[in-house]
Homo-oligomer: A and B are copies of this chain.
Amino acid sequence: MAADGTAQLIAVDWGTSRLRAELLDGDGVRLAEADSSDGIGTLEPGEHEAAFERLVEDWPVVPAVMAGMIGSRQGWREAPYIGCPATPDELAAATIRFETTAGRPVAIVPGVMVRSEDRDGDVIRGEETQMVGLLSRPGGFDGLAILPGTHAKWAALGNGAIQSFQTFFTGELFDLLAHQSFLRHSVDAEHENLAILPDFALGVRRTVERRVPFLSAVFSVRARHLLDDTAPVDNRAYLSGLVIGGEIVAARDSGLIPGGGRIAIVGSRTLTKAYHRAMAIAGHETEAIDGRRMVIDGLLQIARSLGFLGGKDKP
C-alpha cells in the first residue's frame, strides 16, 4: 500500500451550498485542500464537471470519491438510495462510477434509505459516509450515532453496518423559528455558543424532564419575553434547548436510545458540545467525534473498498 506522500485520492464533500475537496495520500494524509461556493444548489445540469475541474485543475489526475447532494437527482449523476442494513462495501459497490473528460475516475456514493410498514420511509445522503468513517475506526463502532445538523440523523450502527436511522427536522426548524417566525423578535441576538448559557439547560429540562410538548413549548419563548422581559440572547439559548430537548424526547419515545452501549455525537465542535450537554441532562453519556474527519475517513474507506488506493481489490 502506497503511503509515501504521493497523491492517490481526491476526497469530495459536495453539498447544496459548498464544494469541498482534499487531496490525500494512500494513508489519508492531507496534501492539499480546496473549496468553493459551487454547491449543487447553484449549478445547472451540465455544469458540475467544469465546477469540479476548476477547483482541482492543479492537482494530479487521481480518482475522486464524492459524497453528499452531488449524488441526488439534482446532482451530477444520481446515485440511488440503497436499503438498510448497509455496509461500507455495499455502499462502495453501489457508487456511480465514470471518468471525467480529463480522464479522472469519479465514484459518487449513494444515499441510504429505510422503508418499513411501521412508519414512513426515511433517507440519508451524505451522512452515510460519516457513518462509514465511524465504522472504519479501529475496533469499529457498535451503538448509536447522532449526527446533528439541518436534518439531524439518529442511526443504529452494528455488525459493521448502518442498521437503521431516523431523521429529525431539528436544525432547520430552529433556523425557521429563529429567523422567519414571529418568535424572531424575541430571539434576535447572536451568540457563538448558546449551549453554555443557563437558559439552554432550562429549555432542555422543560422538554426532557417536564415533558412540555415541543409544539406548545415553542410558544413559551414569546410568553417569557412578554411577561418576564427576558433578554433575546437568553431566549435564543432557551429556544435552542427546547428544540434539542424535544428531539431527545422524541428519539427516546421512538426507542432509539439504547439502554447501554456507546453513543457518539458526530459533528462540529459547537454542535457536539450542545448535544453532549443536552444528552447529559437527559441522563446519557456521549462521546464527541469530529464530523469533518469522519467524512474524509468514510471516503477513504470507500476508496479502499473500490481499490482506488491499491490496498484492496475491487469487490
What residues of chain A have their CB less than 8 Å away from a CB belonging to chain B?
73, 81, 113, 115, 118-123, 150-151, 166-170, 172-173, 176-177, 180-182, 206, 210-220, 222-224, 226-228, 246-247, 249-251, 253-254
Interchain residue pairs with CB less than 8 A apart (19): A81-B226, A113-B223, A115-B227, A119-B220, A120-B212, A121-B220, A121-B227, A122-B223, A123-B227, A166-B216, A168-B216, A168-B219, A172-B181, A173-B215, A176-B181, A213-B251, A213-B253, A214-B215, A216-B251
State the Cβ distance, A93 to closest chain B Cβ, in Å.
21
Q: Which of B123, B166, B223 is in CB contact (< 8 Å) with A121?
A: B223
Docked Cα-Cα span, A47 to B169, in Å, equals 41
Nearest 6 pairs between A and B by C-beta?
A: A213-B250, A120-B220, A167-B219, A121-B223, A169-B218, A121-B227
Residue of B nearest to A211 (CB): B253
Chain B residues whose CB sits within 8 angstroms of the CB of A122 once the complex forms: 219-220, 223
Residues of B within 8 A of A222 (CB): 123
Q: How many copies does the complex hold?
A: 2
Q: List B contacts of A250 (CB < 8 A).
A: 213-216
Assess the A182–B173 pair: CB atoms within 8 A.
no
CB neighbours of A217 from chain B (8 A): 119-120
A245 → B minimal CB distance (Å): 11
